[in-house]
């Protein structure tokens, strides 16, 4: 059977390498991005470049989104000229974005009522490196049969796709993931600063703790960058992690489940963001704990 045609909207840090993986796997991919230079770069790599969201949706079987936040997802899907205006029964929308779970359930119901299009929430973990290597971890919410039908299209992107339940369950799972990551980022900054203040070479912490209970992917990524004050070319942004922690706190209120650690981590990140670090690497959190440099 021929591959279904794919449309990809949102060609940022994650969307660009994900689209390239799909092209390399032989899929017919049409792209659209608000910043046209990103679309044009993928056009040179073999993608079809749509002039509008409507043109993209009308020409594909599956629409994939990888966008900044819940508000952008809503604008792209339900705004003027958006996906909902052009979608049709039999199509599927896959949202790789990290979006609010309750809003996701509402979006899915609205989209189906508007045009008959199905929704799968499929947020990802693994960062840019995982997107480039095709080793992302995906947490999917939606109908089991629909997700199973999508597995061939997800295979070039992910090492694992886990069906977590109905629409919204994937986003709840991603919130859980980010609670762990966000709290780790906050305590890693404290750890590196404590080691430095105590006369320990912080750059050796990764080697010393590798394989122990403290070892983790965030530990291996963030600790060396914090120790070396290597904040250039961030693989992710503090504002993104803060957004996800805020969603965790909001979800905890809905479900009457306490999240004191995640709430504290969110406030620490928010304070750092207000000091001009929202667009910076979360590794810059360590600067909040280091002694101020005396002015010359």
- Residues near 295 by Cβ (< 8 Å), separated by ≥ 6? none
CA 137 to chain centroid, in Å, comes to 11
d(CA 207, CA 215): 10
Tell me the H-state helices in the chain: 15-24, 36-44, 53-58, 70-78, 83-86, 101-115, 127-133, 144-154, 169-197, 205-209, 217-228, 238-255, 260-272
Element (H, E) at 240: helix 238-255
Q: Is 270 exposed, middle or buried (0-12, 13-18, 19+ CB in 10 A)?
A: middle
Looking only at the bridges linking them, the beta strands covering 136-141 and 124-125 are: antiparallel
Structure tokens at 277: 């670090």
Among residues 21, 38, 174, 277, the one annotated as catalytic is 174
How many other CB atoms are there within 10 angstroms of residue 199's CB atom?
6
d(CA 277, CA 269): 9
Nearest of 71, 64, 58 to residue 42 by alpha carbon: 64
Q: Is 174 a catalytic residue?
A: yes
Are the C-beta atoms of 98 and 171 separated by less than 8 Å? yes
Nearest of 124, 99, 129 to residue 233 by alpha carbon: 129
Q: Which residues pair with 160 in a beta bridge?
A: 137
**Catalytic residues, which ones?**
174
């Amino acid at each position: 059977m021929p591959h279904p045609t794919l449309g990809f909207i949102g060609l940022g840090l994650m969307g660009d390498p994900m689209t390239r993986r799909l092209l390399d796997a032989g899929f017919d991919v049409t792209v659209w991005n608000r910043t046209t230079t990103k679309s044009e770069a993928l056009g040179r790599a073999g993608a079809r470049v749509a002039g509008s969201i409507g043109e993209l949706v009308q020409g594909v079987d599956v629409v994939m989104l990888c966008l900044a936040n819940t508000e952008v997802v809503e604008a792209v899907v339900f705004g003027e000229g958006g996906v909902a205006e052009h979608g049709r029964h039999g199509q599927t929308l896959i949202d790789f974005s990290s979006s609010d779970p309750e809003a996701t359930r509402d979006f899915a119901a609205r989209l189906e009522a508007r045009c008959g299009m199905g929704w799968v929430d499929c947020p990802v973990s693994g960062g840019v490196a995982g997107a480039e290597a095709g080793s992302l971890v995906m947490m999917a919410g939606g109908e089991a049969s629909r997700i199973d039908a999508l597995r061939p299209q997800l295979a070039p992107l992910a090492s694992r796709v886990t069906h977590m339940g109905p629409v919204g369950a994937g986003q709840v799972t991603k919130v859980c993931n980010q609670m762990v990551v966000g709290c780790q980022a906050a305590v890693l900054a404290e750890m590196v600063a404590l080691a430095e203040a105590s006369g320990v070479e912080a750059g050796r912490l990764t080697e010393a703790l590798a394989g122990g209970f403290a070892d983790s992917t965030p530990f291996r990524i963030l600790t060396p960058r914090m120790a070396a004050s290597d904040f250039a070319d961030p693989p992710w942004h503090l504002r993104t992690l803060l957004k996800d922690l805020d969603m965790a706190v909001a979800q905890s209120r809905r479900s009457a489940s306490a999240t004191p650690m995640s709430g504290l981590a969110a406030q620490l990140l928010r304070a750092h963001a207000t000091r001009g670090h929202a667009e910076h690497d979360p590794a810059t959190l360590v600067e909040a704990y280091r002694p101020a440099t005396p002015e010359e």
